[in-house]
Every structure is written in C-alpha cells, then in structure tokens.
Structure 1
C-alpha cells in the first residue's frame, strides 16, 4: 500500500498501521488543527505538492485539502489514480494514501476532497537519533568502487546516526539498488578520526536542488561496525550536537 515511500522504516509498515477509524479521524483532525504542512506525492511522477488539511468530515467520510498554486499541477492531481501523503504530528511521522482526489470548495475557495483513508501509518519511534552534518565542510566517506565506476571514490554525507549515514551522490554513480553492500568503507570524522565499516543501502531518494540540479540521497546502514568505531561515531554526534546548541544559544 505504501510503495511510493522509499524508507527503511516502512519495511515492516504493518507494525505501524492504524486501522481504527476513530483514531484515524482523530489524527487527521489533529493535523488540521495544528496546521501541519503535508507533502502530497503524485503516484508515477516526480511531482510533489505541499498542502494542508482544511477539514475532516466524518459524516461524509471525506478529508478536504488545500489546492496547489500551480494550475497545471492541480490538473495532474485531479487526474491521478494514486496519491501519497506524508506529514507529522507531535514529532510523529504520519503517512497515508488516497486512490483519487476530486475538485471541491472550502470557504468559497478551491479545494481537494479525498476519502478518509481506511488505514494510515504512524511511525511512533526512531531507533536512532540523526543529526545533519556540516554543509560548508562536509564529512566524507570513501567507498571502494569497482574500476568501471571510477575506483575508490569519496562522497559527502547529509546526516549521521549510530545506525548509519545518508550519502549524497550528486553524480549518480552509485545507482539506487536497495540492499547493495559496500565493504571496508572509510568514514573521516573531523577531530575524531577515521571509522571503518561496511554499509548496506536501505533507501534512496532523488532530490531536485534550488539550482535545478539533481542529487541522490542514499540512506545506508552500518554493518559489522566494531564497538570502538561505533563509540567514535557517538562522540562525533555528541560534538555536532554541542556545536549546534552553542550556535542556537548565541542567537538568543
């Protein structure tokens, strides 16, 4: 039901599925009352619309959503045969889907109408805390690629946790094969030192940057990492968090 979201957390999505209609309606109303933004993905297209829930009408079994400011995108949404939605409520990630959307109005303005989803996904926990790595001087990891892919190549990180890392592959040389493994990868952690680990690709997401260039984010899990190397990763995460908190304190 949720193949559009490429995420390792969804591999066992049945564990997080909410089927109670009362609970689903309550969650959707909570999202609406807190005016949470929602990412709407059009199935089969690299097309994302940011929307919000305007109303949940339990009697008519419908959810009213705000429309896109893009007229052409509105047409694509209304003709789509599958729509996926991602948002959060109280830091809990919420995913749901709809087979279609129909044109409607709300308060005199255009709106979408979808059926109350029969189920939704509520990801109540994250096993590992992730923190973004520096952009200006990125942390890099060296992968031992075959010669046809250029041999050993370093890639910048997007974030890091004690469970793994997210690699940015702006040249798209790694592909997007979920499950691919890389051995003896060398992670250079500033002021901490090198960390060696195996990696397995668990999810892939293609991004379009503000300059219209493409980038690929590969979520990778540490495999066979030693206790000492894992401790080094934890020390680096603690250091990043202290630096971030110091910056926040300096802005206040």
Structure 2
C-alpha cells in the first residue's frame, strides 16, 4: 500500500497553505484529536495527540510514547509519519526529526510544523496497527505447478479498507510485486475469518531487534465483496475504539 503522504506536490489532495495547515492543526488540538505516529515505514506506531502549536518556533508539541524505548526509537528515526481521521477525512503528514521535551512537567516530543499535508476524504486509506499482544494471521493458499497446494502463514501488522501490511517471519512468500493471490484467509477479531484476494504491492526486508530478518509486505485488497468490506470496516472501527480508550486511560 502506498503511503499517501508521498502524493505529488501538485496533487489537489496536498495542502501547502501555512495558514490552512495551522488552522487545521489548531482544530485538531481543540478537539483533542488522536493521531497515529508511525516510524520504520509504519512498522511501529503509537497513539498521540497535539499538546501545543508554537508558530513562532515552527513546532508542534505532542504526547510522548508510553515507554522510554519507544521514545528512543522515535527520536532516532529520520522520518516520522502521522495519520489521523478527522471529520471522516484522512490527514497525513511527516516530520524529519523529533526531539524530547517537557510539557507541563511531563515528557513530550517536539516536531516541526509540516510544510504540507495530505487531506483525503476517503476512509479506506486510513491504516491502523493491529494488536501486538494477540497477533492475527493472514494465510495464503498457493497452487503449485504440479497442482498441489502450500499454505503460508503470515502475521497481520496493520489494516485499512484498501489492504493489509503483513510479516512473513519464515521468508517463504515470494517477494515478487504485482502477483495476485486468489485464496487468502484474513483473521479478524473474535476468531472471525474472511476470504480475500490480495495483490502484493511492495516488499521490504526488515531486521528485528533480535537480529533476525523478516519480509514485510504491503498488500492491496482486490474486488472485496460487500460483506467482507463491511467486516473489515467493523474491525477497523473496533480497533480505533480500543486504541482511543487506551490512549484516554479508559482501558
């Protein structure tokens, strides 16, 4: 799945007006809008919110991550992504660097006010991370040249109405982009399984903290049925509610 913050500068979805950007960020601040902060190409994410907008210093102050190790990963990242669903419009922007600061005697992070942002009024582009504590699976059933089948089990990293991000820990799934797999089973919450058709859009090798390397894929849904699309959207809504509840201290 493509990162929509990389939409061309002349795209009608990209906003360059500083006044408009600051106005939008102020509205999000006033409504305590939650944002997903993504690093490592979206492989790690936290839920945060804007605490203050300092126009003079060209800075946004945002909530810090809940752990010191996550904060360290954020401040050592060279590219930080932000995503939010504000009034059913997907907002994305990036920052090159984050810095540790204090805000009202608590840890916070500072990033630059974005020079531009992308505003898409399509919910299907909003990507949300799946629970790490209870990993979900995406299973591929692949036909071999001799007519036999092999089953490849991958882990679900994130999901949107447009596709999924997955990890192949055993590096079995072919890395060729553009291939469409007709027979895939996607595991959602509460032991719900849905059948989907997936196209491989990108693949990157990723080195884990243990030193082990895995393959991470971005996959696009192909011709989702209405029933499956509804199940995916219900699952995304459930994840959003759970993450919002955790961020607000209700879970």
- Report the TM range for the smaller structure's normalisation: 0.5 to 0.7
Query: How many Å separate the matches in 2 of 1:63 and 1:110?
Result: 14
Counterpart contact for 1:39–1:87, Cα < 8 Å = yes
Shift of 1:71: 1.9
| TM-score of the superposed pair, with normalisation by structure 1 | 0.58
Alignment of structure 1 residues 61-210 onto 2, 5 Å:
61-126=58-123, 142-145=141-144, 151-153=149-151, 166=164, 173-177=172-176, 179-182=177-180, 185-186=182-183, 200-202=199-201
Instruction: Choose which of 20, 23, 29 in structure 1 pairs with 2:20.
Output: 23
SS at match of 1:69: coil
Deviations 1:150-170 (A, max 9, x none): 844477998897xx7659676
Deviations 1:61-80 (A, max 9, x none): 21111112212332333333
Query: How many Å separate the matches in 2 of 1:220 and 1:74?
Result: 31
Structure 1 residues 56 and 12: CA distance shift in structure 2, 3 A: closer
Structure 1 residues 11 and 46: CA distance shift in structure 2, 3 A: closer
Structure 1 residues 119 and 215: CA distance shift in structure 2, 3 A: same
Query: How many Å separate the matches in 1 of 2:215 and 2:43?
Result: 13
Shift of 1:125: 2.0
Deviations 1:207-226 (A, max 9, x none): x9xxxxx996752343xx7x
Query: How many Å separate the matches in 1 of 2:5 and 2:102?
Result: 37
Higher gyration radius (CA) = 1
Shift of 1:50: 2.7
C-alpha RMSD over aligned residues: 4.6
Match of 2:190 in 1: none
Shift of 1:101: 1.8
Counterpart contact for 2:90–2:123, Cα < 8 Å = no
Structure 2 portions without partners, runs of 5+: 128-136, 186-194, 209-213, 236-251
SS at match of 2:57: coil
Counterpart contact for 2:155–2:167, Cα < 8 Å = no
Deviations 1:153-200 (A, max 9, x none): 477998897xx76596766532554x33137x3579xxxxxx997x53
Match of 2:36 in 1: 39
